[in-house]
Amino acid sequence: WILVVAMAAWEGGRNAEKVEIGEHCCIDIQLVIDKMDMDSAPHIVNVACSTLNQWAMDFEGNYLRLRRSIVQARRAGVRYRVGGELEVCGYGCEDHFLEIDTYTHCWEVLAKLLDDEEESLFDSSMLVDIGMPVLHRGVSYNCRILILDRKIVLIRPKMWLADDGNYREPRWFRAWPNDRKLEMLQLPEIISKRINQKEVPIGNAVLSAADCSLAIETCEELFTPEPPHLQYALLGVQLVSNGSGSHHALRKLSTRLDLICSATRKLGGAYLYANLIGCDGSRVYYDGCSMVVVNGAVLAQGEQFCVYDEVLTTFASIELDSIARYRGAMASRGVQAADVAAQHDVKSLGWIELKTADGKQFYLCEGDCDGKKRLAAHCDVSSPVERVRLYCPEEEIALGPACWLWDYLRRSGMRGYLLPLSGGADSASTATIAYSMCVLLHSAVQQELAAARDGSHIEYSVLNEMRRLARKDSWLPETPQEICSEFLTTVYLGSAPAS
């Protein structure tokens, strides 16, 4: 029949409305052509990794930045948006996680997002993935909240907690056991009355759209010896996301990149990594660099060190067919995947179908209901970046602490820093890092002025922040040295051993 229809299309011409085949058969050839176009068109998923500079316990400010990131993703035609770990309240809340009010305020932020009248933040066009803490049966969990069309489809708790170096997550949260099945969590009234939903599944699950499947990791789970993405990928999941709160340490980005690229190179698939950025009130600096990696290749990479904005979004368009081709070419992966499928009941993991409020299946590939639209998106498939940006250790030392100094300064409201100089290497290197901050600020101001000349809308103004701190309403610094003289004061600290 395919051959007959193809011949009929050839004979009748692509402009013909209908073609007769035999005495009793008449085919609408345009419908056939549209169907053939749709079936042959690539499956494209538009995704966004949101990198937010949040502030611990600043629920109003965090709400505004979170809202802005969701709006950016929606306006860009994104179908799946993922943000950083605990982005609603800020990762560095520490012992505030032991207070019930922290969880209540997080739900209040989510309710405020649901009430947004200017933008329909949670409609049927995009699946939104938000990080926040959740209480379930009196136990606190570090969770991902997944929302589609004003319905919470899944709460996914973190299964392996970080408890080394600067991390003390088991002090505030409990890990969700790997073999624990899905349960139902009762939603607080502030949410249930808004979305007409009383309970939601909580646990480890795969989200199944009409055209592909998605699973979630959280930060530390990527670094474990047996990460969840191994099982997900062998069970055929195409997209894995990771909302992270990973702080800066020398060469740590290289470790992250190696883990993600190695995983997708061996297993095939797409990995969406969304990290926080900035100082949220603690002693660490979250170094962003959100990225999208497909089949071992980096398609998109965000900023690692940034002072010019509080909301950064990394976009990518992923061709799902490339994942199928890549996996199909690896015989050994196919053998192991078949073995895993035979030994494990897929349903025990948790398998949730993504549907809109009217019961229709949700498509992660934009335009699946319209083949022509999806075919037109083929030109926008993201290509691997030519060169992955990795700073040398000396650059990381100059940039990371400098960004931390700026966030701490502007959020504390201080006029600047006082540095006692002893004449040694410690105070000299500290002064150099402070000057590095001023170089970054000057560059950001020049960027901002150029954008203003072009008529671009500026959401966050570094220059206004600098003027606020300096108490100078019309200040326009011309050099990094001028900024440094305003924000850094030095005094000589004499000592007996000093020469």
Active site residue 403: no
Residue 114 makes CB contacts below 8 A (sequence gap 6+) with 121, 122, 150, 191, 194, 195
Neighbours of 401 (CB within 10 A): 21
Q: Please tell me what DSSP assigns to residue 124.
A: T
Selecting among 50, 69, 85, 143, the annotated active-site residue is 85
Active site residue 266: no
| Cα dihedral across residues 464, 469, 474, 477: positive or negative | negative
The DSSP H or E segment spanning 317 is strand 311-319
Backbone angles phi, psi at 135, to 5 degrees: -100, 130
Cβ-count burial of 78 within 10 angstroms (0-12 exposed, 13-18 middle, 19+ buried)?
Answer: buried
Neighbours of 254 (CB within 10 A): 12
The β-bridge relationship of strands 488-492 and 417-421 is parallel
Grouping H, G, I as helix, E, B as strand and the rest as coil, residue 171 is helix
Q: Measure the CA–CA gap between 230 and 488, rounded to whole angstroms.
A: 49
Selecting among 49, 219, 365, 403, the annotated active-site residue is 219
Q: Measure the CA–CA gap between 227 and 273, rounded to whole angstroms.
A: 14
* Chain center to CA of 233: 19
Active site residue 193: no
Residue with tokens 């053998």: 335
Residue with tokens 């600096």: 285
Tokens of 21: 């085949």
Q: Please tell me what DSSP assigns to residue 365.
A: B
Tokens of 12: 């009748």
Tokens of 260: 């993600």
Active site residue 50: no
At residue 259's C-alpha, the angle toward residues 254 and 263, to 5°, is 145
Tokens of 74: 């929606």
Residues known to be catalytic:
85, 158, 219, 422
